[in-house]
A and B are shown apart, each in its own frame.
Chain A
Amino acid sequence: MSQEQILSSDGIPLEESLKKAERKNKLKAVLLVAPLFLFILIIYVFPIGDMLFRSVDDRMITKMLPKTFNAMEKWDGKDLPDEEVYKGLYDDLTYLKKNKTYGKIIARLNYEKSGFSSLIKKTVRKINKFEEGNYKEQFIKVHKRWGKNEYLVALKNTAPNWSYAKYLKGMDRKFDQDRNIIQVEEDRRIHKILWLRTLNVAFWVTIFCFVLAYPISHLLATLPMKYSNLLMICVLLPFWTSLLVRTSSWMVLLQQQGPINDLIVWIGLAADDNRPELMYNVIGTFVAMTQILLPFMVLPLYSVMKTISPSLMRAGKSLGGTPLVSFVKIYFPLTIPGIGAGCLLVFILAIGYYITPALVGGASGSLISNTIAYHMKSSLDWAFASALGTMLLVGVLAIYWVYNKLVGIDNIKLG
């Protein structure tokens, strides 16, 4: 028995008229969400995608030496390649010289193996004098490195479009000429130190923030309204001040002739001619970052503590728990969601903090983010900066994952 189609009062099938009525609402909803969606796409998804892409993108050199790499495909790398490869190299370099673009490959090749810089420069200078045929001999004549297998292997290693060499560099590792991953020379292992320092700073800043924020948040949540409002303003005041201003004020306070040092000397903790250095080292980073990130710990803690009824502590006491026992068994466990949220927030912010360590950290207090900035602005090695950024991102996601396993993300309470 077929079911009779239900019609709305104007004779149109009910389903259709419902769709029609809903369409307008759906469209409205989409329009409302669209700007935000675009915003997230533009400022979040695209940049991160671009960063991931750049960190492994190695197509520049592939495009510039197409004939060389084409000829090298058949070469096994054991003996010197045959004439065909040198012919390709001659064609590519001639073309690059004509367009004056060979400078780009020098940096890339020199990174792969030092010595390429002079090799390419010298070769390009003399390439006009090359005669047709027997290129292999002529190349070796120009520079004997063209007759050494290791340079040609290094050249071949740059052929693939994609490379994770930047990630290895971020971990103080590199490929040797046989494509084995090895550690870089002892005196060049700077990134490991930076990573450890970044984690160390982020960890301790989180701990300091927690220790300072817990009592403040508790006060905020329990004081009468008129006092707690004032205290809240004090907590939020830094939010309304520019980050740069706050960091610079720390520079004023912490400098060697600054008020804090004056106080230390006045109390007699240090001699006037031997003032402690509070800035341009890790101390300055700790102090300034703790102060700046404190509100991010206070707010989640406060919002959780606000929901804990004061009668719970009273109940604990009336049932015979000492204030300490009541705190440990009742109050503290109930604040764990806030602690989790605050610590995660502060840790993640601290791990990628840039301005403050850049200004007050000095050399011994600079973090991985400062290195990223350096490669963005000074060395212009964007691929490496992207790789470091991606590693940072993966690290944060890993922390997030661990936290989810330990505490559970659902337990986070931001308000």
Chain B
Amino acid sequence: MANDHFVRFENVDKSYDGKQLVVKGLDLDIAEGEFVTMLGPSGSGKTTCLMMLAGFETPTNGQIYLDNKVISDIPPHKRGIGMVFQNYALFPHMTVYENLAFPLRVRKIPKDEADKKVDKALSMVSLQGFESRMPMQLSGGQQQRVAVARSLVFDPQLVLMDEPLGALDKNLRESMQYEIKHIHESIGVTVVYVTHDQTEALTMSNRIAVFNDGKVQQLSSPDELYERPVNSFVAEFIGENNTFAGEVMDSSGDQCKVKLNSGTEILANPIVAKAKGEKTTVSLRPERAIIDPETAMDNNHKGKIEEVIYHGDHTRLRLDLLGNKEFILKVPNSSNRMDIKEGRQINIGWNSVDCRALDPK
């Protein structure tokens, strides 16, 4: 049975200068075989967490467990954790083969067995035949693959990846995302992945830990994170988001009435703000609002089109709706598209379930 607490952060604090906490009381459990992404803006403490796990930083307080063992006293080279670095960190004076054989050689694995492992790892990233190349002779994408292969070649239980795709161009990054995901699925290794790119996190992960301000704001599956953010930071950070500031007027069960700053009252889903009189930020995903709904919805309002932006597969509209001049709508560019022009008034409707009353910003 898979271990649900394969990696475990227990009340971990980290401070570099003794004045500021970079990581605050972090608790995090990662199950064996999982692909967990640490996602957050720069300075949110995600890389620090990864470095503490790898052993290059020591926690100021708290414990980290790997497979139920405290790892604070184990030096990095004995942890047996594979790591892919931001700039790949391939050894420039060694060939691809030597790079991959390095972890095997220091483990005193016999040469014929090491050759097999290197070969297997290279075939995993489809780079057979590149053994004698130097890293400088490889393209960015190929270097990246070598780095991934090197982190896996000694069969670690856990692989850490620190923004490994950051230096690649968009197309390559997307194809590498799938490739890494497939490798993870085929060998079942536990992966902890750090990125600030939310699309990357959403496509690749089993679960995502959203970091901000040294804390995990939410740890859940990608769809859960997107559909049901638990606070306004997560709602803002993941995907696009329309917000209304207001105050809870009345709350009953799974609906609440929110009086917006513009004076209008709307129906929302009480998530954080529940009690009457609480300040709240209401969050609504652009694709959950519908133009000219055929049946009446919980909320129906009129908005004025301020701007039309063509995006190829869809068109984005910026509306002035209920006092929010930055209200975004996405309209698919299908054949029966409506007459959209700047300055027109249109009807917008949405359900209260999709409209989440979260903590005020």
Contact = CB atoms under 8 A, between A and B. Distances in A.
Contacts of B106: 319-322, 325
Contacts of B154: 319-320
Interface string B146-159: 00001100100000
B95 to A, nearest CB: 13
A316 interface: yes
B87 interface: yes
A320 B102 CA distance: 9
B91 A312 contact: yes
A321 B77 contact: yes
Contact of B85 (A315, A322, A325): A315
| A312, A314, A315, A322 — most chain B CB neighbours (10 Å) | A315
A265 interface: no
Interface in A283-315: 309, 311-312, 314-315
Contacts of A333: 93
A316 to B, nearest CB: 7
Interface in A309-352: 309, 311-312, 314-323, 325-326, 329-330, 333-334
Interface in A112-169: none
B81 interface: yes
Nearest to B102: A319
Nearest to A312: B89
Interface string B113-132: 00000000000000000000
A315 B83 contact: yes
B76 A309 contact: no
B92 interface: yes
Interface residues of A, number: 19
A104 B46 CA distance: 86
A367 to B, nearest CB: 37
A317 B77 contact: yes
B190 to A, nearest CB: 15
Contacts, number: 66
B80 interface: yes
A329 B102 CA distance: 9
Interface string B82-121: 1101110111110000000011001100000000000000
Contacts of B86: 311
Nearest to A325: B106
A334 B93 contact: yes
Interface string A224-250: 000000000000000000000000000
A318 B76 contact: yes
Nearest to B107: A320
Contacts of A309: 87, 89
Most buried by B among A311, A318, A329, A330: A318
A314 to B, nearest CB: 6
A318 B93 contact: no
Interface in B230-277: none
Identify which of B56, B87, B91, B92 gathers the most chain A CB atoms within 10 Å of its CB.
Answer: B91
Contacts of A322: 77, 106
Contact of B89 (A315, A320, A321, A334): A315
Contacts of B150: 319
Chain B CB within 10 Å — which of A312, A322, A333 has the most?
Answer: A312
A323 B56 CA distance: 12
A320 B77 contact: yes
A309 B107 CA distance: 24
Contacts of B55: 317-318
Given A321-B77, A330-B91, A334-B92, A316 B85 contact: no
A334 B136 CA distance: 14
Nearest to B78: A320
B39 interface: no
Contacts of A318: 54-55, 76-77, 79, 81-83, 160
A334 B94 CA distance: 10
A108 to B, nearest CB: 58
A103 B79 CA distance: 86
Contacts of B87: 309, 311
Contacts of B82: 318-319
Given A325-B106, A329-B102, A317 B89 contact: no
B77 A314 contact: no
A264 to B, nearest CB: 41
A319 B153 CA distance: 10
Given A314-B56, A333-B93, A334-B92, A320 B85 contact: no
A312 B55 CA distance: 15
A315 B54 CA distance: 10
Contacts of A326: 77
A317 B76 contact: yes
A320 B151 CA distance: 11
Nearest to B51: A314
A323 to B, nearest CB: 7
B91 A315 contact: yes
Contacts of A321: 77, 102-103, 106
Interface in B25-69: 54-56
Contacts of A323: 75, 77
Contact of B76 (A312, A314, A325): A314
A319 B103 contact: yes
A315 B56 CA distance: 10
Given A318-B54, A319-B103, A333-B93, A311 B77 contact: no
B130 to A, nearest CB: 19
B105 to A, nearest CB: 9
A320 B93 contact: no
B324 to A, nearest CB: 44
A312 B106 CA distance: 16
Contacts of B103: 319-321
B195 to A, nearest CB: 17
A320 B80 contact: yes
Given A320-B106, A325-B106, 11 more contacts: A311-B87, A312-B89, A314-B85, A315-B90, A317-B76, A318-B77, A318-B79, A319-B106, A321-B103, A321-B106, A330-B91
30 contacts: A309-B87, A311-B85, A311-B86, A311-B89, A312-B91, A314-B56, A314-B76, A314-B85, A314-B89, A315-B85, A315-B90, A315-B91, A316-B91, A317-B77, A319-B106, A319-B154, A320-B77, A320-B78, A320-B103, A320-B107, A320-B154, A321-B77, A321-B102, A321-B103, A323-B75, A325-B106, A329-B102, A330-B91, A333-B93, A334-B92
Which 8 pairs across A and B sit closest by C-beta, in order of nearness? Answer: A319-B103, A315-B89, A311-B89, A318-B83, A317-B76, A317-B77, A311-B85, A321-B106
